[in-house]
Amino acid sequence: MNSTKRPSGRTALLPLGAALLTLTLTACGGGETGQGKGRHETGGGDHDRRRPAGLGTVHEDRMPPYDPARPNPRDRTEGTLTVRPGERFTIAMRESASARLHWELSAPGPDRGITRPTGTSSYQTAQERELIGSSHTLYFTFEAAGTGTTRIVLTNRCGSDRKAGCYSPDLARSVTYPVTVR
């Protein structure tokens, strides 16, 4: 007969629980707490130091939190972005293949006499690069050309293009950003 003593169920699970807790805490990271609706300007933080240069003021999109009782609107309009002539500003959108978010600037775009698109760039953290199906931030950069008001409309291809392989009628379709240059 074997005389080795086996640990009780509770004792055996303790190291496993500690390992899972450590894994959970390191995988979740600090995260951002998107309090409030719509966009906000970024300020500081590790992510900001490594984002692409020349973005100007960055306004990060904040998708509404998921609530099965109240589905997110397919088309939403955010608060007005107010900028000065000559100012460069950026709208940061989260993209994710697994969440089927693929943002594009809608045609015909904003009034070029008021706001001109200057390009797009993206950023992905080291942790995001390691995860399959992970997201990244897509930056849409603009320059305020003249005074007036216009709209920037960003469209989610997966929620609007029925021919796209990722299409679903339940996905977000568009986000509109009114812009005032004064």
Q: What is the pLDDT of residues 96-138, one digit of tens each?
A: 988 899 999 999 999 999 999 999 999 988 888 888 778 899 9
User: Looking at residue 131, what is its pLDDT?
Assistant: 83
Could you tell me which of 82, 103, 102 has the C-alpha nearest to residue 39?
A: 82
In this structure, are residues 133 and 98 in contact, taking their beta carbons and an 8 Å threshold?
yes
Q: pLDDT band for 71, please (50, 70, 90 cuts).
A: confident
For 3-35, what is each residue's pLDDT tens digit?
A: 555 555 544 444 444 443 333 333 333 333 333
Question: Could you tell me which residues come within 8 angstroms of residue 34 by beta carbon, excluding any fewer than 6 positions away?
Answer: 40, 62, 65
State which amino acid sits at residue 51. Answer: R
In whole angstroms, give the CA distance from residue 176 to residue 30: 29
For 43-64, what is each residue's pLDDT tens digit?
A: 333 444 466 778 888 988 877 7
Q: If you compute the radius of gyration of the chain from its CA atoms, what whole number of angstroms results?
A: 22
Could you tell me the pTM of the whole model?
0.68
User: Looking at residue 99, what is its pLDDT?
Assistant: 87
Mean pLDDT of the chain: 77
| Residue of higher predicted confidence among 145 and 37 | 145
User: Looking at residue 15, what is its pLDDT?
Assistant: 45
157 to each of 30, 66, 118, 162, 175, how far by Cα in Å? 30, 20, 21, 9, 12
User: Looking at residue 10, what is its pLDDT?
Assistant: 47
In whole angstroms, give the CA distance from residue 58 to residue 81: 11
In whole angstroms, give the CA distance from residue 151 to residue 114: 10
